[in-house]
A and B are shown apart, each in its own frame.
Chain A
Amino acid sequence: MVGEISQYLKQHWAELGFPGDRSPNLSFFKVGGNPWEEGRINFLVFDVGQSEPLLFVKIVRDSTSNPAIRREYTIMKRLAEDEALSPYLPVPVHLVNISGRDMLLQRVCHGKRMISLLSGSPFLQFQKTILSMNFRRALEFVETLNTRQRKRLTEAEFRESIVDPLKLFYDQYEDSKEKKMRFTELTERLVAQMDGAFWVTPIHGDYSATNIFIESDGRVKIIDWETVREEGLPFWDLFYFMSKYIHNMKIYPNNRWDRVLSIYMGRGWLSQLVHGTVDEYCRKTGFDMSLGRLIFPLHFLNKATIKNDMKGRDAAQPWIRLFELSTQNLDQLCF
């Protein structure tokens, strides 16, 4: 496979924007990806002798999964047309077909992933500065995306696009009638709260510190658009970023999953930071905080659907639990 990609790149070297005065001597570094059959393999492409990679190549193992990679390409390409969003994207991006397999060729991000900038201190108290800096950086992209790319749906469209897929998943996952009723109650409250203004926005779907690059000039780049969707709820990416960040922190005590809700429902300085971040998001995007409160539990359920699709029922379980607990304790949220 690498040989075929290498041949393609050499033939199209100049078209891809690289100096065409010499033939590159390419080397490939298989990096990360998803281990499952329908998952992806990623390669960083180096020109031998260069210390930094030139290209990022993304391939699906099973070529019948090509539509997923095409969707990723189409949405990224469309978002890149927006001049305010373009600086956050790993563009230029090309979709090519080599031996019947679709591949994405992307610009490589240089710098550090935000995850590597998490504080090494095991004590939350010593993470204040870096936490607020990272939350601010993450907010910057989400508020730009959610302000510039929103779309208004009719109630029927909203139900079909947002509510029904979540309901279908939860109905299959959960047997308890009481829990199902709680879900319906929540979504009906949300529909009522939206009061005819059914705004949806594109969502990244895996907006976490792992997928945010801080380049050497301080610019933020968002990578790994595998789970991108045209229509999601406002707040979702922001909530997921904060939840995953809180979950990822290597602090004492090591109760990652319990920690997530206790911070959203606490009154300490981190809860205040969460509150401040949501408040800032609302101020900049114009979305109402009371709407955010109703959307909050659904970001856990949305993540559960993604986990269930990619890794199965067990991987979805902790997110389902967070959804159920948060639905029951909406009045205790810190924002």
Chain B
Amino acid sequence: MKLVCPKCKWALDTVQEGLFCRSCSSTYVKKHGIVSFIDDVYSYGNIPQARWEEIFRAIEGKSNKEIQEYLLSQKFKGRWAYIESFRHNKADGFSFLPISSEDVILDIGCGPGSLTIPLSRACREVYALDATLPRLRFLEARRKNGGLTNITPIHASALKMPFNGPSFDYVLMNGVLEYVGEWGSGGNPEELQKGVLKDIYGLLKEKGYLFIAIENRYGYDFFYKERDHSKLYLTSLMPRFLASLLTLLLRRKTYRTYTYSYNRYNSLMKNEGFQRVEFYYVWPDYRNPKYIFPERDKNIFKYYLENFIKHQSSRLEYLFYRWAAGRGVEKHFVPHFIIMAQK
């Protein structure tokens, strides 16, 4: 696939140092062998840049197993996301989709490759896009170790992607859409999210799917068990202005990691033009999806309730979901969704 200039959408030419746009004369150089469209300044998460360099020196030439052992032997904050990225179950939601060996996939916010790696074995090509360069370097190390030749890592922002026109059979955003609001320089987070959804719609081929894994704004877990993306309790449940006031007070930044209700996700997708939107419930969360089942089959939820929630969760949680299922409103309170929207 020919990449395009994110600024002017002109097809890019390959030059020695990377890619060149003949229209606007921009040059996009490769960084550590990865084509890069943005500055390497975006969030490093919990791992500082100096530490990353140390990690890359230590894992160079090591097998995937040795990389895992190295990370397990270290004690720095933020390593678990990389250890767990070797789990293949994050991609289990894709079992419900008809992926073929001819399909081309775009993984937005691919991180260290939790979904990219398993999906690359099932399809023709995966374009793995992330705004954090070390994550892509980590993915590259895994890719090489796995002998995978159909993964193209791209250092770019989801707000300005180097693609043009319907090119993908699947686009996925696993725990990503909620962060889009933090990437823009100001502006309404919801508008930024809508903008990305609109771009994705344009990049999908006819009948292509958008795969989103995300929290339910009003999920039961967020009433008292889990913190919101703001790292505070209850903020997703509050009116946005109140959440913003609170995060400004306690975290010194406004609230921009918007999640939505079942109905709102549905309308967001439909408004962007998606024809068919299907929801799946995912438990305990989409980062470790032990249980996944379709929202449309109410009996599976009841079975899950009586055979799993009842024995694995608190009495209060069980009674709450039993009440919700009795009234057919459980979809408004399950904590995590996988949303599959077809063009």
Give A residues with C-beta under 8 Å from B: 1-3, 27-37, 39, 41, 43-44, 46, 48-53, 61, 112-113, 115-116, 312-314
Contact = CB atoms under 8 A, between A and B. Distances in A.
Contacts of A112: 307, 311
Contacts of B294: 27-28
7 contacts: A1-B96, A27-B294, A29-B292, A31-B291, A33-B290, A44-B303, A116-B311
Contacts of A28: 95-96, 293-294
A29 B300 contact: yes
Contacts of A113: 311
Nearest to A49: B299
A242 B253 CA distance: 53
Contacts of B86: 36-37
Residue with the highest number of chain A CB atoms closer than 10 Å, among B86, B297, B304: B297
A2 B88 contact: no
Nearest to A46: B300
A57 to B, nearest CB: 11
Given A29-B291, A30-B292, A35-B88, A53 B303 contact: yes
B118 to A, nearest CB: 7
Nearest to A51: B299
B88 A27 contact: no
B87 A35 contact: yes
B69 interface: yes
A33 B71 CA distance: 24
B266 interface: no
Contact of A27 (B65, B95, B289, B300): B300
Interface in B151-166: none
A130 to B, nearest CB: 14
A201 to B, nearest CB: 31
Interface of B: 65, 68-69, 72, 86-89, 92, 95-96, 98-99, 118, 288-294, 296-297, 299-300, 302-304, 307, 310-311
Contacts of B99: 1
A13 to B, nearest CB: 18
A51 B301 CA distance: 9
B47 to A, nearest CB: 21
B118 A61 contact: yes
A51 B118 contact: no
A1 B119 CA distance: 12
Contacts of A27: 293-294, 296-297, 300
B95 A41 contact: yes
B288 A46 contact: no
Given A32-B291, A41-B92, A48-B297, 18 more contacts: A1-B99, A2-B95, A27-B293, A27-B296, A27-B297, A29-B291, A29-B303, A30-B92, A39-B88, A41-B95, A44-B303, A46-B303, A51-B302, A52-B303, A116-B311, A312-B68, A312-B72, A314-B72
A30 B289 contact: yes
Which 4 residue pairs spanning A and B have beta carbons closest together? A35-B89, A116-B311, A35-B87, A30-B292
B88 A46 contact: no
A46 B301 CA distance: 11
Contact of B88 (A37, A51, A116, A313): A37
B95 A46 contact: no
A3 B100 CA distance: 11
Residue with the highest number of chain A CB atoms closer than 10 Å, among B88, B96, B289: B88
Given A33-B89, A36-B88, A52-B303, A1 B288 contact: no
A164 to B, nearest CB: 24
Residue with the highest number of chain B CB atoms closer than 10 Å, among A34, A37, A39: A37
B87 A36 contact: yes
A24 B238 CA distance: 44
A103 to B, nearest CB: 12
A29 B96 contact: no
Contacts of A51: 299, 302-303
Contacts of A314: 72
Nearest to B98: A3
Nearest to B101: A99
A168 to B, nearest CB: 18
A246 to B, nearest CB: 19
Nearest to B311: A116
Contacts of B96: 1-2, 28, 30
A35 B288 contact: yes
A32 B294 CA distance: 16
